[in-house]
Structure 1
Amino acid sequence: MRALLVWLALTSSAQAQEFIDAEHALNDEDFYRLVACAAPPMDACQKQIVKWDKADLSVGITKMDRAYLGGKAKRAQAALARAIQEVNSAGSAINLRRDDKNPDIEILFLDIPRGGEIRGSGFTRLEGTPISAAGVRVFVSESSILKAVIIFTPALQIRAYESAMLEEITQGLGFLTDIGGTFYETRSIFSQSSNALTKLGKQDIMALGQHYPAR
């Protein structure tokens, strides 16, 4: 049996965020390698490149605790619809479709205290592991992604839902390292220090297309 690993990436508001600083513009190849395999500019990869073996993927909200009922739930649903549309319009091979029953990429809105541990996820490997505002966990076998789980907590402010939803879904496609520094705060969904963007940046689209070339 092949070893099963859990890889993770967290939103910019998380304390344990994995990121690499880039204070200036990166060329496309350095940008891609940074977000895809944690390679500092002009340096070697620090992580394995991982990706889905299929391009047609389902994504959906499979759990929403009572703490989110009302305005937060409506905002979450709208954020997911926009994120799906944004990824699908990027021109890569990836096609996302909504499925709240048994999706490839599961989204959980859990009532977890800030800085607490994951509880009630339904995934044994995730239970008891720390989480801050939000994050994505990716189950990997060799270089293939088998499942992605996105977790939101009440610590994430509602105004950040659109940006965080798009970021976590995109990271769940295999981009598990964020970009530190101020330059990319207004240029990339992978910015470690900002939740300002609600659309993919120019180099985000490039990276997605390089990871999953259009057929």
Structure 2
Amino acid sequence: MRAAALCLALAAGPVAAQEDYIATHGRLTDEEFYRLVACGAPPGGECDMPFVRWPREAARALPIALAPPPPGYSPALAADLEGALSRAIAEINSAGAAIRLVRAEAKGLPPAITVTPLNYGNGERIAGSGIPDLEGSTMGAAFVYIWWDGRHRITEGRILMADDLPQDEVYPVLLEELTQSLGFMIDIRNPAYERDSVFSEDSNSVTRLGAQDRAALRRHYPR
């Protein structure tokens, strides 16, 4: 089951969509890695999308919320998501970038990014997601969807989580999706990154941000 079934972005104008991974070989330089995950540029190539970021004022304390699970949702999985979200926030905050995530309810703030559990599993068709462009899409492990304005400032993020994730994949999947919702829309398909990057297309087992993941965060949100 893929960690990121689809990555779409809605800008001020039409929907902008692209392949959500790029295949490469061998280790990339920090520059190549950053450009791949942040603007869809293959090594030595041009960007396929703009660099998008949360604005500086929002990034100081970006509120994240876990939506209530739908009726019939597994209580055990809901508890796993609750713990995974707090853990993922702590991991991202440890990267040293000029962005800090907080739990929206703890700060009494409306969420900028909402994590929404769905009553849909891998391979099922989505309905009632609240995102028209995703209706009828095939569910994977998760979807991440962000909106940005004409100045390439992210204004809202949504993460949709499947209801049949194996327990040991709940946290790695959520860590990847939450990191992607900060402006990193593209995964990397490369065996060299399957064990040490949350952006690996073919792995749902990475539980810590890799060195290049952290470097990309710090470059995208420099202090």
Q: Give the secondary-structure state (helix, strand or coil) at the position aligned to 2:63.
A: strand
Counterpart contact for 2:196–2:208, Cα < 8 Å: no
What is the TM-score normalised by the length of structure 2? 0.85
My pick for the range that moved more, 31-40 or 148-157, is 148-157
Q: Which residue of 1 aligns with 2:103?
A: 98
- The 2-side partners of 1:87 and 1:25 are apart by 23
Counterpart contact for 1:189–1:201, Cα < 8 Å: yes
2:54 counterpart (52, 55, 58): 52
Counterpart contact for 1:5–1:139, Cα < 8 Å: no
- The 2-side partners of 1:151 and 1:31 are apart by 26
2:34 counterpart (7, 32, 35): 32
Q: Which residue of 1 aligns with 2:6?
A: none
Q: What letter is aligned with 2:168?
A: R
- The 1-side partners of 2:117 and 2:16 are apart by 19
Q: Which residue of 2 aligns with 1:3?
A: 12
Q: What letter is aligned with 1:99?
A: A
Counterpart contact for 2:121–2:139, Cα < 8 Å: no
Shift in CA distance, 113/179, structure 1 to aligned 2, threshold 3 Å: same
Q: Which residue of 2 aligns with 1:158?
A: 167
Larger strand percent: 1
Q: Which residue of 2 aligns with 1:116?
A: 124
Q: Superposition pairs for residues 120-131 of structure 1, below 5 Å?
A: 120-131=128-139
Q: Which residue of 2 aligns with 1:148?
A: 157
Deviations 1:119-138 (A, max 9, x none): 23334454444432211001
- The 2-side partners of 1:66 and 1:210 are apart by 41
- The 1-side partners of 2:186 and 2:197 are apart by 12
Cα drift, residue 48 of structure 1: 1.2
Deviations 1:164-196 (A, max 9, x none): 111000000000000002110011000000011
My pick for the range that moved more, 91-100 or 121-130, is 121-130
Deviations 1:99-144 (A, max 9, x none): 2573100000010243333323334454444432211001122211
Superposition RMSD on alpha carbons, in Å?
Answer: 2.1
Q: Which residue of 2 aligns with 1:41?
A: 43
Shift in CA distance, 6/139, structure 1 to aligned 2, threshold 3 Å: farther
What is the TM-score normalised by the length of structure 1? 0.88
Deviations 1:8-55 (A, max 9, x none): 79xxxxxxx611112211100000000000100011111111111131
Equivalent pairs: percent with the same residue? 39
